């Protein structure tokens, strides 16, 4: 099985030397409503919003920007394989740019973006996070988040995810572990199929390590039936 890269837009390139071929997910190749639902669930698990950040508020001067990648182990590989013409896709790797900014009153906002201008495919997401408990020396931080993500650019297919989660984190010097639970509501539509609306439960654990300005975060996420691991490297202050 080969890994696919959403920045090259669900394209699996293979071959040797200058000889290459590419297969993409093609709605016209999906046979049956059940197959469309299975493909939508895997894509939603992979493309739904993942914060890769602790629960604590960043404060009004806080700023976090980084590059990241998430890797999702797909569960409906037979249906995905049919949809991309036998590409052998079982893992979806998505490189992204991620930005968070602290605001007053315990609020933070964030966004992520992945895309390929040549393929006109893009994934964009947003979050609004509120520090229910700010946290301190002895008290962990507790945060609630609303999120939204949308996958665009695959012909005849639209996929949106709206989520809510709650997370807790506790800093120990430069190391801050965190964990959370939540739920996503997904809407998928494609030409020739009935619209599908479904929910996916979400659990995640991660850790943030700060080396002054340089920041590194890792996260393991399970959304629906598919598991994702992600890492982010950037600047945080």
In tens, the pLDDT along 7-57 reads 333 433 323 222 222 345 677 778 899 999 999 999 999 999 999 999 999
Return the pLDDT at 126. Answer: 98
pLDDT value at residue 226: 97
Distance CA 113, CA 125 (A): 7
Cα separations (Å) of 56 from 3, 133, 175, 232, 233?
34, 8, 13, 17, 18
The Cα–Cα gap between 222 and 73 comes to 10
CA distances from 149 to 17, 62, 77, 85, 107 (A): 37, 23, 23, 26, 19
> What's the token pair of residue 180?
């959370």
**pLDDT of amino acid 29:** 79
pLDDT, the chain, mean: 86
pLDDT single digits (tens) 173-208: 899 999 999 999 999 998 889 999 999 999 999 999
Answer positive or negative: Cα dihedral of 116, 203, 147, 159: positive
Binned at pLDDT 50, 70 and 90, residue 135 comes out as: confident
pTM of the model: 0.87
Q: Shortest CA distance to 6 belongs to which of 120, 131, 176?
A: 120
Q: What is the pLDDT of residue 125?
A: 97
Report the SS3 class of residue 84: coil
pLDDT at position 137: 81
Q: What is the CATH number that goes with domain 2-236?
A: 2.40.160.20
Answer with the residue of higher pLDDT: 15 or 145: 145
CA–CA separation, 234 vs 188, rounded Å? 33
- Per-residue pLDDT tens for 68-92? 999 999 999 898 888 877 778 888 8
Tens-place pLDDT, residues 96-123: 999 999 999 999 999 999 876 555 578 9
């Amino acid at each position: 099985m080969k890994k696919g890269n959403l920045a090259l837009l669900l394209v699996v390139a293979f071959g040797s030397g200058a000889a290459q071929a590419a297969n993409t997910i093609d709605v016209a190749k999906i046979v049956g409503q059940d197959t469309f639902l299975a493909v939508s669930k895997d894509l939603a698990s992979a493309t739904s919003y993942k914060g890769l950040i602790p629960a604590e508020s960043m404060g009004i001067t806080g700023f976090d920007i980084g590059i990241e990648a998430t890797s999702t182990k797909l569960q409906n590989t037979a249906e995905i394989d049919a949809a991309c013409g036998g590409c052998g896709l079982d893992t979806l790797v998505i490189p992204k740019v991620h930005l968070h900014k602290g605001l007053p009153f315990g609020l933070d906002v964030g966004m992520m973006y992945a895309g390929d201008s040549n393929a006109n495919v893009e994934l964009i997401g947003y979050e609004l996070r509120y520090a229910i408990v700010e946290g301190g020396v002895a008290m962990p931080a507790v945060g609630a988040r609303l999120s939204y993500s949308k996958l665009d650019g695959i012909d005849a297919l639209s996929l949106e995810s709206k989520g809510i989660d709650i997370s807790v984190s506790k800093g120990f010097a430069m190391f801050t572990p965190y964990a959370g639970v939540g739920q996503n509501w997904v809407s998928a539509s494609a030409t020739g199929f009935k619209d599908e609306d479904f929910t996916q439960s979400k659990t995640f654990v991660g850790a943030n390590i700060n080396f002054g300005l340089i920041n590194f975060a890792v996260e393991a996420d399970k959304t629906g039936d598919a598991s994702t691991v992600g890492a982010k490297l950037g600047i945080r202050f």
